[in-house]
Structure 1
């Protein structure tokens, strides 16, 4: 076993892996002396930062929102590393992390849309609302279809570039670039509305093409 196996999970991809290896791993060992600290505390702290980033976005402070979201993204990698190093991994902790991630992602997207409405950008209000809705739904469905496919042992193809790490990084970068043009986050919104939903559609087509669809489908509450 590699001595650095605590830094990432086998399912981590692309930017998320880079963030964990090069940023989160520098913070995690410094938290080990805090014997009272539990992984779920870090998870909740990260999610609260993510929601706060959305609030800051909505208030019109895009650059600051990007900074808060960046810290949230790094801390989101710390909780799992801390759990692995301290032997406190649990399915309940992984579930909590996944659920709170969706709240943080949703808050950031809503804040992004409110920010763009207030500027305003040369895009109709109805289109901003449609793009925002697609972004929230698409981001959640990328994560949901990944988990659901694993549970059903379905092959969804190669790892997607529309992972949480990529989605968050693009939002953060465009928020920082708002210093050059305050409408720059519209690029992130368009990407978040199109790419994740395209990935979901491709996954649906792939599973049905492979014969995993019509017969034996089960409903879900």
Structure 2
């Protein structure tokens, strides 16, 4: 979805004088971090909107780079690094939001799940990049991509309108699924290489 919306927005952004892909990358990351902050202070639906807009810009930056012939390794690196910050801000925002609620779980459990969600989200991206750099066969891409992780957090943040502790679903998903994917990749690396 973000790619479809991004494809329509990219030509519009390309016509803005002076806009470079790295600027769009930074704006998208800033929106993702803003989404996490808004979620943390209790404005979950607004945080979901900011994070969703950040995701759209995350699609626009690469499309803009290709369209304007400004693709670069440094730009791809910047995009990957800032994606981790936007992801992390949303995870932290979810945890702070949940801690402020009337106890869906004890604080220690929320902090443990949040920590595991942060570690898993970063490790799944790192394990894919590291395996690729070492030319290890670890299997096809999984449903724990950055896009999937972000969509889960955005939907759960928006879902607070219906069920206030819905970010708990995102935190549990992010604590379990990315870690399972990393374990799977490690096993595949040892079996296939």
TM-score normalized by structure 1?
A: 0.85
**CA distance in 2 between partners of 1:37 and 1:192 (Å):** 34
The 2-side partners of 1:24 and 1:136 are apart by: 27
- Hey, what's the Cα distance between the residues in 2 that align with 1:157 and 1:66? 31
Q: Residue in 2 aligned with 1:44?
A: 26
- 1:162-210 superposed Cα distances (whole Å, 9 cap, x missing partner): 1011110011111111101111111111001000000000101111122
Is it true that 1:102 corresponds to 2:80 in the alignment? no
Pairwise mapping of residues 28-67 of structure 1 onto structure 2 (< 5 A)?
Answer: 28-67=10-49
Q: In 2, are the aligned partners of 1:121 and 1:183 still within 8 Å (CA)?
A: no
Pick aligned residue for 1:155 from 137, 151, 157: 137
Once the two structures are superposed, the pairs formed by residues 33-182 of structure 1 within 5 Å of their partners are 33-182=15-164
**Match for residue 2 of structure 2 among 15, 19, 30:** 19
8 A Cα contact 2:98 2:104, kept in partner: no
> How big is the shift at 1:31?
1.4
Unaligned runs of 5+ in 2: none
- Any unmatched runs of 5+ in structure 1? 1-17, 213-221
Deviates more, 1:120-129 or 1:48-57: 120-129
What SS does the aligned partner of 2:119 have? helix
Q: CA RMSD in A?
A: 0.9
What do residues 60-87 of structure 1 show as CA deviations (whole Å, max 9, x unaligned)? 1111111111000111010000000000
